Amino acid sequence: MARATAQQTADRIDHLQGMILEGEPNTSCLTFARQTWGVSRSQGYRLLKKAWVQIHDDVEETGIERSEMLAWAVQSLMAAAGQAKAQRNPGAVVACIRQLDWMCGLGINSTSGHRVHRTRM
């Protein structure tokens, strides 16, 4: 297969960035890249990495403060938890609360100064 031009590579990275921002997991993005563009697994990962770097650069470029971003994320998670509760989806509610705990340090383990991750055996 012929090498992609610089423009084609940039378009691919932009497309993957859009997929990531829409909430697609990395595995779905990688599968899409491999099936659509016929790239190898390693090349797909390189494209994904560049897409993530591009997202990071875009966020840094806006000049948004981390506290503003945290406030937006907390508000979004609260809304998602409310929607999940309305839909009677306890698993999603727990996931939202767990993420809020992780982001804001709300749990009992946060007051002791360190995080303890429990593992299932």
User: How is the chain split among helix, strand and coil, in percent rounded to 5?
Assistant: 75, 0, 25
Cβ atoms within 10 Å, residue 51: 23
Structure-block tokens of residue 89 = 């989806």
Mean pLDDT in runs of 10 for the chain (121 residues)? 85 94 89 95 95 88 80 88 92 89 73 54 53
- Cα distances (Å, whole numbers) of residue 97 to 21, 42, 83, 89, 113: 22, 35, 13, 13, 20
Residue 84, classed as helix, strand or coil, is helix
In this prediction, residue 64 carries a pLDDT of 77
Structure-block tokens of residue 120 = 């299932």
In this prediction, residue 23 carries a pLDDT of 82
